[in-house]
Amino acid sequence: MSSVRNLRGRDALTLETIEIEVLDTRVASIRPYSGNVDDLWLAPGLVDLQVNGYGGIDLNAAACDAQAIERLTLLLASRGTTAYLPTVITAAHPEMESRLRTIAEARRNSTVVAHAVPGVHLEGPSISPIDGYRGAHAAEHVRPPSLTEFESLQVAADGLIKLVTLSPHWPDVATYIRALRDRGVTVALGHTHASPEQICAAVDAGAQLSTHLGNGIAAELPRHPNPIWTQLAEDRLTATFIADGVHLPADVLRVMLRAKGIERSVLVSDSVALAGSKPGLYHSPIGGDVIVGADGSVRMRDTGLLAGSGIALKDAVALAAGLPGSSLRDAVRMATEIPGGFLNAPCGRLAVGSSADLLLFRWSAADDTLALIEVLVEGRSMLALQNN
């Protein structure tokens, strides 16, 4: 027997008041609605290009198994993130292979994971080896790009690696970037001390993204040139931003969004397993001994460098939407259709016939997150699942 549901609210992307009819797993119709919807908003499910973990589940921990990844996927969905890229960071080659195999296994074994995970983000290992630029990545495992190594990792991942973050300072990196692009992999620049010339050469070779621009970089930089200015100025690069109020102060985020433009901007969480934890000292595969602050930040104890964020993507949407000169529409676009466009997957859009991955929520400019009323993934209520 078919299941039918109707959701009513203001479309966060068109600002029109609409009614969405969901038939089983798909959007059956979208039509104007003239009734009262109070302050309810509708949007596609959020798309996060950078998730290291959340809610105590760490994708970079040896103990993480396929069942944990399914739990993580359901947890993220209950927070409004219905599609995401599990992110594997710099480590020894066997460890990275193991983590990728686990993600591939989870996707094979679980229809929930298969639907939510269109690929994997490989952040490293070919990033800057220099302190500051390297961030929380382990120095001993940073190494030059190797197509042989990448192909080994891609086999372990069952072909799921869709995004690779690297630094373009390495010799002959343009050849490597072109090889990845030929294999259908999106290349992002991040954790880099590269010169303007090296950055431009990487873009000429096919790099398309900047990973968490303004972070993964030294605390002190030359006034100019430096890697931030070059990437901001390069119109062929779309930048991802961690909008948690910690990684980028509000005025910095505002300026960067203006420079890139909404069309070339993406919000990511860069969330880690300690997201939502009480303040205190913890040990993490990302950063080692880390301190969760009262503001939710996760910092390495010895250096104070950030080691991922403590937010879900819906929190970033609310923060970006509340910036002076910004809007909910812009923020939702940066967390749905724009990142979805890099995944070659049917996510982040609201259309008749699309999968019923939908959010119903309340929000005002004073709110620090979206108040989720309902989250549907293929027509199923994720909030009901989490509450059972």
Residue 6 lies in a domain: no
The response to whether 45 counts as a known ligand-binding position is no
Structural domain including 68 reads: 45-347
With beta carbons less than 8 A apart as the criterion, state whether 266 and 334 touch: yes
In a domain, 263, yes or no: yes
Residue 201 is assigned to a structural domain of this protein: yes
pLDDT for residue 2: 79
Would you call the peptide bond into 225 cis, given omega within 30 degrees of 0 as the criterion?
Answer: yes
Is residue 36 part of an annotated ligand binding site?
no
Q: In CATH, what number is assigned to the domain containing residue 89?
A: 3.20.20.140
For residue range 119-164, list pLDDT tens digits in order.
999 999 999 999 999 999 999 999 999 999 999 999 999 999 999 9
Q: For the whole prediction, is pTM greater than 0.85?
A: yes
pLDDT for 386? 58
Let me know if residue 283 belongs to a domain: yes
Number of domains in the chain: 1
Q: What is the pLDDT of residue 288?
A: 87
**Rounded CA separation 281/292 (Å):** 6
Report how far residue 102's alpha carbon sits from residue 277's, in angstroms, rounded to the nearest whole number: 25
Q: Is residue 329 within 8 Å of residue 15, measured between CB atoms?
A: yes
Per-residue pLDDT tens digits for 346-378 = 899 999 999 999 999 999 988 889 999 999 999
Q: How far are the Cα atoms of 24, 134, 283, 291, 362 from residue 28, in angstroms, in the given order?
A: 9, 47, 47, 47, 24
pLDDT < 50 positions in the chain: 387-388
Query: Look-up: residue for tokens 């990196």?
Result: 173
Q: Give dist(CA 329, CA 350) in Å, integer.
A: 13
Establish whether 247 is an annotated binding residue: yes
pLDDT of residue 388: 42
Would you say residue 339 lies in a domain? Answer: yes
d(C-alpha 271, C-alpha 255), whole Å: 23
pLDDT at 286: 78
In a domain, 34, yes or no: no
64 within a domain of the structure (yes/no): yes
Catalytic residue annotation: 270
232 is annotated as contributing to ligand binding: no
User: Per the domain annotation, does 5 fall within a domain?
Assistant: no
